[in-house]
Chains A and B, each alone.
Chain A
């Protein structure tokens, strides 16, 4: 490495540079957190959405599915399942989800299986509310098409 770079200089680049960019990250995060409510339409969040997120977490849905592209890649993306399965109609989607959860696991041989979670009708309805709310977050237009 270049001889004119001394160890002291390298150390200063490490501590100084890291600290500077950590501060920059804090600043950008502060801005993003202020901007987020307008992008996720937080004012439309109901109690049921929060409950739905708890149902989502307590059953480790992320262990098979992805949500906004994050999670496991074993089962379909669900941030846009409201559009895909409900066609944007809230009532239709809630009805679909009740039916879908009740018939799991599907009898199709060799197909990937979803366990039966024995959720109550209220829990499934909350899950639907959570997925509907999630589908409306401004995510820079991801995924490329409705198949997720």
Chain B
């Protein structure tokens, strides 16, 4: 660790992983409810489990992005963090707000939560992913502002690199676009129109900048490749991401009210959205091939390459699969959407956070050369189990979606099966999904075990290093005494 203040990232990463664990547990509960509607009903109704599942995801990814920024920005800028104290205050605020929200979902009926938090003063609740009480949303804004301020001041104070500049644009965009969460007009079409300014402009816009910046940082570290090579790529990748993604938002405007020209614009531009992800794959493998040094943290390299590949698969391929309007007409709001959502969120955003954790956490724990091989084996086992299970889940949901469309949407009215009847037919596929979900959970457990394997002194390479440096260190007092 080059700067002491980078260590503020550690609690962010720890909480991110705890929330990730919770997210997966609630995923398993929902998977079971897809099979048996009586499962945990009425203690945890499906909508509550889903809020917990999706909100935990958003919050742990934000914890991950914040931890990543606090870790990498001082190092990139060549200076201590502007205010480690502010970062710690922000951390506790966000943790308390996050935990309170989840407990609120679980312990109170949602309407009661809305009433208690005075939602009627500024109604923002009850919209997908934006279910948090308004007061919590205000807290999120405060947390984001303090975070962006802290990172921004650090960037201004130190060396400005391409990575930090792109990260900054991403973080400012994240904070700005979240403000649309407060705009909830009573006209549904306008509400939906601007809801996407948070959701789409986050996950298919500014989050991609954050992803590209973090991934570039990790790749530079694990390969030792010259940053000059990275920077040009990075600019081109994020440029294409935004150019395609901004108007690509049109693929959400097909069937919610806006005019027909969005069918063309949305199809055309969102069809280009896989391109930056493809370039990320090329870029990542090219860098690893050109590696300049023997790097001992194999796990971190595995996560970095995995992120590139899985982001392309989940966001790129699975996104393209249903993005063209004539296809989307049949797939919109089906299990195909769920398949894409799972693979893209895991492949792009969950994995990039796990990649930076894999790189930075050992360093913060006093293992500059990575975890001992025994720990890395657990971590890499976790990587494969989680990654392959998620591919399996996405495949299962794709089959479920195709089946759903064939039974419910393709036949003419009268011959088509109703929604619930269709879902009951698909249950065998939901079983497959649930089993794969259990395997994913197992992978997560392996991954978490890796943090507790191997004594902290015993790290890769320390033995050889110790041998080579020992005589010099031993000689030092002798020199000084002279």
Contacts and interface: CB of A to CB of B under 8 A. Distances in A.
A121 interface: no
A53 B246 contact: no
Given A113-B42, A139-B255, A140-B255, A1 B236 contact: yes
A18 B243 contact: yes
A59 B110 contact: yes
Contact of A63 (B50, B166, B235, B334): B50
Nearest to B229: A1
Interface stretch (B181-189, B313-321, B473-481): B181-189
Interface stretch (B4-12, B94-102, B404-412): B404-412
A57 B123 contact: yes
B416 A60 contact: no
Given A112-B423, A145-B412, A24 B188 contact: no
A73 B430 CA distance: 13
Contact of B37 (A17, A113, A133): A113
Contact of B257 (A5, A64, A76, A139): A139
Contacts of A142: 254-255, 329, 332
A42 to B, nearest CB: 6
A63 B418 contact: no
A143 to B, nearest CB: 7
Nearest to A42: B187
A56 B188 CA distance: 11
Given A7-B231, A25-B246, A60 B253 contact: no
B127 interface: yes
Contacts of A74: 30, 33-34, 46-47, 50
Nearest to A57: B126
A21 B257 contact: no
B50 A28 contact: no
Contacts of A28: 247, 265
A128 to B, nearest CB: 15
A67 B45 CA distance: 19
B38 A147 contact: no
Contacts of A45: 186-187
Contacts of A1: 232-233, 236
Contact of A21 (B30, B45, B243): B243
Contacts of A10: 231-232, 235-236, 239
B309 interface: no
A67 B189 CA distance: 11
B226 interface: no
B332 A140 contact: no
Q: Is the interface of B mostly helix, strand, loop or mixed?
A: helix
Contacts of B418: 76, 147
B41 interface: yes
B263 interface: yes
Contacts of B363: none
A146 B41 CA distance: 29
Interface size class of A (residues with CB under 8 A): 35 or more
A124 to B, nearest CB: 14
B333 A69 contact: yes
B111 A59 contact: yes
B335 A73 contact: yes
B190 interface: yes
Contacts of B30: 74
A116 to B, nearest CB: 8
B371 to A, nearest CB: 34
Given A63-B51, A113-B37, A139-B257, A147 B189 contact: no
Contacts of B51: 60, 63
A91 interface: no
Nearest to A7: B232
Contact of B330 (A71, A113, A144, A148): A144
Nearest to B47: A63
Nearest to A53: B186
Contacts of B338: 73
B23 interface: no
Contacts of A148: 408, 419
B258 interface: yes
Interface string A31-54: 011011001101001000110011
B50 A144 contact: no
A7 B233 CA distance: 9
B240 to A, nearest CB: 8
Contact of B127 (A50, A57, A143): A57
B46 A69 contact: no
28 contacts: A7-B231, A7-B232, A11-B235, A14-B239, A25-B249, A32-B262, A36-B258, A39-B258, A39-B259, A42-B187, A58-B111, A59-B110, A60-B47, A60-B125, A63-B51, A67-B188, A68-B257, A70-B128, A70-B192, A71-B333, A72-B47, A72-B50, A74-B30, A74-B33, A77-B333, A105-B42, A140-B263, A144-B330
Of all A-B residue pairs in the complex, the 6 with the closest CB atoms, nearest first, are A63-B47, A57-B126, A69-B333, A10-B235, A142-B255, A112-B37
Interface of B: 30, 33-34, 36-38, 41-42, 45-48, 50-51, 110-111, 114-115, 119-120, 123, 125-128, 131, 162, 166, 184, 186-193, 228, 231-233, 235-236, 238-239, 242-243, 246-247, 249, 253-260, 262-263, 265, 329-330, 332-335, 337-338, 408-413, 416-420, 422-423
Given A70-B192, A144-B410, 9 more contacts: A32-B258, A39-B189, A49-B186, A53-B186, A69-B332, A71-B128, A73-B334, A145-B411, A147-B409
